[in-house]
Amino acid sequence: MLHTVESRVREAVAGPVHRTGDAPVTTLEIDSRAVLPGALFACVRGGDADGHRFAAAAVRAGAAALLVDRPLQPGWGVPQLQVPSVRAVLGPVGALLAGDPGERMRLVGVTGTNGKTTTSALVHAALEAAGRRAGVVGTLGARVGDQEQGTGLTTPEAPQLQRLLAWMAGQGATDAVVEASSIGLDVGRLDALRFDVAVFTGFEEDHLDHHGTLEQYWASKAALFAPGRAGHAVVSVDEPWGRRLADQARVPVTRVGRSGGADVRVLSWDTGRRGTEVLLADGDGEHRLRSALLGEVNVGNLAVAWATARRLGLPAADVTAGLAGLTPPPGRNTLVTEPGAPRVLVDYAHTPRALRAALRTAHGLAGGQQCVHLVLGARGRRDRAKRQLLGVEARLANRVWLTNEGSHGENPRQIVEELRVGLIGGPSEVSVELDRRAAITAAVRAADPGDVVLVVGRGHETQMQDSGPPVHLDDAEVAREAVADYARAARGRAA
C-alpha cells in the first residue's frame, strides 16, 4: 500500500513528505512505457527530461499512484506521494517493493575506473566454485546459473537493480556481485543496499562529462566505502588513489598490491598467450593462481578477486579453482587467432591507462620483432578531454588506424582529429578509416602473420550508434571474419 511506501520514505530522507490518498502498489517504474497496472510511477527529473511530463501517460497505462516532487493536477484520479527528491528515494522504495532482496543475500560491490567487469566475474567464479549460488550484475548484463537478463547500464537504475536481485534470490542465490559505477553511486542507484565487501580496482580520469571534476568523480566512488554502505573494503593500493582510499576508508580495509605494506601481496607474475600466473602471499602463506586471462592488467584483478573471495570466507582451494576455471569475459583481451594469420586482441580499453595496458599486452604477444597495429576511436558526446591523452598512449603502437567508435551525433571526423593531436610527433604510422568495419579489416590485411592487431574501445558491445538508430557491429565478429579471410588467402597462396 502507498502508506507503507510513505513510511519507508520517511525513514530514508529528511524533509516534508505528503500523501494524497492510498492505493495498493506492486512495483516501481521510472519509464512510463514500462508501466503496468498497479505500478507506482516515479516522476524523476533528469538532464534531458522531467518525468512529471509523463505522469498522465503512466496513469493511462495503469499506474496506481504517482511519486512526485511537486503536486500534479488531481484530475487523474490516483494518489500522489510528494517527496523532496524523487530520485533520492528510488533505492529505498525500489527495495521495499521488490521485497528487500539485498537483506536475503551476501553482496559484493565492485567499483573502479577499469577492471570492474573482470573482477566481478572472477569473484563470481570463486563463489560458484565454493558451491555458492551466486548472481552477478554489471556491464555484461545480469546472470544467475544459466539464466541471463539484459541491463542496459553497468549499474541499472535502482528499481531494476532491486528487481534483478529479487529475481536472483528467487532462483536460490545466496550471494550477488554488483558492479558499482561512479554514476550509479552518484545518482543513488545503489542506495538501500549494504555490501558485505566493497572492492576498489583502481582509478583514473573518466566520466568527467557527468562528474565535472576529478575530485567529484573520486568522491562518487569513495562514497561506497562508508560504514552504512559496506562492512569491509578490499582496495588495490598499487597507485596513489588506492592508497588514499585505504587510508581514508571508515571500514576495515584489506590492502592488495605489489608493495611490502599490502595485506595480500603479489610476489611475482607471468603473462603470455597461454594466460596469466600469479604468486601472492597473505596471512596464510603463499598461493599460486593460474588463469586464462591475458595481460598484466589481470594480475591486479586476480589478486583483488582472491582477497575478496577469501574475505568472504571461501576456502583457498575453491578460490584457486574458480579463478582458474573462468572463461575470459567477452571483449576483455579477447584473442582471435588462426594459423598463418596475425592475432587480433579485442579489448574494452577506453581510458588512457587501460589503452597503455592493452598495448603492453599486445606487444608481449607480438614479441620484440613483430608489429602492433592499433584500431582506435573515441565515443561521441563523452569526455573530450581524454581524446588527446588516448592519442598520446597510442604512440606505443607501430601503426594506428583511427576510426569511428560511435559518434552519438557528434562529427566522427572531428573526434578522430582530436585523437590525432596526441599522436603528433610520435613514431606511429597513422591512417584514418571512419568505417569501423573497414578499419578493422584493413588493419588485419596490413599485418604480417606474427603481428598483433589491437582493437579497443567497444569490447563486448554489439550495437553502435551515430546519428540514426543503433546498428549491429561486433568488433570480435568483424575480427574473426578478417582473420579467417587472411588465413584462407594465405592457404591459397601456399597451395
Dihedral-angle region of residue 460 (phi above 0 means left; psi in -120 to 50 means alpha; beta otherwise): alpha
Q: What is the DSSP letter of 154?
A: S
N residues, the chain: 495
Backbone angles phi, psi at 286, to 5 degrees: -100, 150
H or E stretch at 217:
helix 214-222
DSSP secondary structure letter of residue 185: H
DSSP H helical segments within 374-411, as ranges? 387-394
Spatial distance between the Cα atoms of 177 and 109, rounded to a whole number of angstroms: 6
State how far the Cα of 39 lies from the Cα of 455, in Å rounded to an integer. 44
213 is in an annotated binding site: no
Is 324 within 8 Å of 287 (Cβ atoms)?
no
Set of cell numbers at residue 71? 503536486
Confirm whether residue 118 is marked as ligand binding.
Answer: yes
Maximal C-alpha separation, the chain: 82
Amino acid at 134: A
Q: For the chain, how big is the Rg over CA atoms in Å?
A: 24
Residue 85 marked as a ligand binder: no
Residue 235, CB-side half-sphere exposure with 13 Å CA sphere: 28
Helices (H), 104-202: 116-129, 158-170, 182-186
Q: Which residues of 22-35 are buried (b: 16+ CB within 10 A; e: fewer)?
A: bbebebbbbebeeb
Rounded CA-CA distance 403/436 in Å is: 6
189 is in an annotated binding site: yes
Q: What are phi and psi for residue 383, nearest 5 degrees?
A: 40, 65
220 is in an annotated binding site: no
Instruction: Match 579477447 to its residue by C-alpha cell.
Output: 334
Q: Is 116 annotated as a binding residue?
A: yes
27 is in an annotated binding site: no
Q: What crossing angle do the helices spanning 316-325 and 297-311 adopt, rounded to 10°?
A: 140
Asked whether residue 117 is marked as a ligand-binding residue, the answer is yes
By C-alpha distance, which of 355, 366, 358, 378 is closest to 434?
378
Q: Is 141 annotated as a binding residue?
A: no
Q: Which three cell numbers stand for residue 93?
A: 522504495
Any binding-site annotation on 181?
Answer: yes
Distance, C-alpha 80 to centroid of its chain:
35
State CA 253 to chain mean position distance: 23
* Binding site per annotation, positions for ATP: 112-118
* Binding site per annotation, positions: 32, 112-118, 154-155, 181, 189
